Amino acid sequence: MSNWDGKKALVTGGLGFTGSNLVHGLVNAGVQVTAVDNMLPDYGANLFNLKGIEDKVKVHKTSVTNAEAMNQLVQGQDFVFHLAGQVDHILSQTNPFIDIDFNVVGTTVVLEAVRKFNPEARFVYTGTRGQYGSVTDLPVTEDAPTNPKGVYELTNLTAEKLASIYNDNYGVKSIMLRISNLYGERAQMKHPRYGVVNWFVRQIIDGDTVKIFGPSILRDFLYVGDCVDAIMQCAQTEAAYGEAFNLGGDRPFSFGQLADTIVEAGGTGRWEPAEFSKERKIQEPGDFYPSLEKIKRISGWAPQTTLLDGLSRTFDYYRENKSHYW
């Protein structure tokens, strides 16, 4: 019997990219899972993401801003994984109130529900490496200054700070994760507004030329299977509660190297450099890759999937299931 057998978990954003992959991981570990998703168009929620485990997951269509619903849903849960949020960087530039509503208000609603109705539950929040903004020292450690360059990143940082306050002041044991560029199966593929690596995969599959902004800029890229392993491993590590952790790939790549690896994994395709748009250039933080020493030391987690292997799995998945994502 694993440490997960018989446990109960609530996953907000459970039909989206990271959420559905986490749901699969939890179900396979023997967890009774309830998934919450408001199923907004273009956000990535997809019932097909639960294929193979449909009968093992309770699904509730509601928003994390619905206090009455969240007050009920947190009850009886051993873990609350809060992955729901507004993740469209472009939308956050044109309508910041959606980010504030989902990422700040929604997180507060979920935390309040746990505090009032299930204070023994463990809370895990997933944010973004964009919370740091531009950096000067690489790799970036968790104690580096945070200076987000956009509303999306700012609201993620605010949500993280809320989780930390509820951990310190109200005893809601919380873990805060800052996730780097995520890619892999079960992400939305209809538009390029988030999930840059997956969008490049779609372009290769469609026979389009991939346009790379800043081919020399360095990033790390995290395979979603490794991300799920990290979330679950941290959740089972008592010393991780109250802490913020970087989650990232095993090493940095330039975007040019990423493009070459995507072409290699896809077995076809081409790419070319492109100029930043004015809006994109304003928010571009430059080189970024995180230190993983803290999460390795405390939880024992480290990424196991190479970029080539992760991309190969991603191509295989979407080529087989294209009709459910295009």
Alpha-helical segments (H) within the chain: 17-28, 67-73, 89-94, 96-99, 106-117, 151-170, 196-206, 224-235, 255-266, 278-283, 293-299, 307-321
Residue 201 has a pLDDT of: 98
* pLDDT above 70 as % of the chain: 95
CA distance 196 to 16: 16
Count of Cβ atoms closer than 10 Å to residue 89 Cβ: 20
Kindly state whether residue 125 falls inside one of the protein's structural domains.
yes
Report the mean per-residue pLDDT for the chain: 94
Kindly state whether residue 263 falls inside one of the protein's structural domains.
no
Spacing of C-alpha 96 from chain mean position:
20
The three state secondary structure string of 222-255 is: EEHHHHHHHHHHHHCCHHHCCCEEEECCCCCEEH
143-188 confidence digits (pLDDT tens): 999 999 889 999 999 999 999 999 999 999 999 999 999 999 999 9
201-228 confidence digits (pLDDT tens): 999 999 999 999 889 999 999 999 999 9
The 3-state DSSP class for residue 79 equals: strand
Kindly state whether residue 254 falls inside one of the protein's structural domains.
no
Least confident window among 110-114, 172-176, 190-194, 248-252: 190-194
Residue 1 has a pLDDT of: 43
Pairing assessment for the beta strands 57-61 and 32-37 based on DSSP bridges: parallel
Least confident window among 1-5, 192-196, 241-245, 317-321: 1-5
Whether 206 contacts 262, CB under 8 Å:
no
Q: Domain of 67? A: 8-182+223-249+292-304
Residue 85 has a pLDDT of: 84
Domain holding 19: CATH number? 3.40.50.720
Kindly state whether residue 256 falls inside one of the protein's structural domains.
no
pLDDT at 54 over 80: yes
Kindly state whether residue 55 falls inside one of the protein's structural domains.
yes
pLDDT at 15 over 90: yes
Residue 99 has a pLDDT of: 87
Pairing assessment for the beta strands 244-247 and 253-254 based on DSSP bridges: unpaired
Comparing 88 with 139, the larger pLDDT belongs to: 139
* pLDDT above 90 as % of the chain: 85
59-70 confidence digits (pLDDT tens): 999 999 999 999
Residue 280 has a pLDDT of: 63
255-313 confidence digits (pLDDT tens): 999 999 999 999 999 999 988 766 666 666 689 999 999 999 999 999 999 999 999 99
77-86 confidence digits (pLDDT tens): 999 999 998 7
Pairing assessment for the beta strands 218-219 and 253-254 based on DSSP bridges: antiparallel
Residue 279 has a pLDDT of: 62
Kindly state whether residue 129 falls inside one of the protein's structural domains.
yes
Residue 82 has a pLDDT of: 98
Q: pLDDT confidence of 89, banded at 50, 70, 90?
A: low
**Which amino acid type is present at position 321?**
N
Kindly state whether residue 139 falls inside one of the protein's structural domains.
yes
102 is written with which tokens?
A: 């989902």
Kindly state whether residue 196 falls inside one of the protein's structural domains.
no
CA distance 111 to 116: 9
Residue 131 has a pLDDT of: 96
If one counts the domains in the chain, the total is: 1
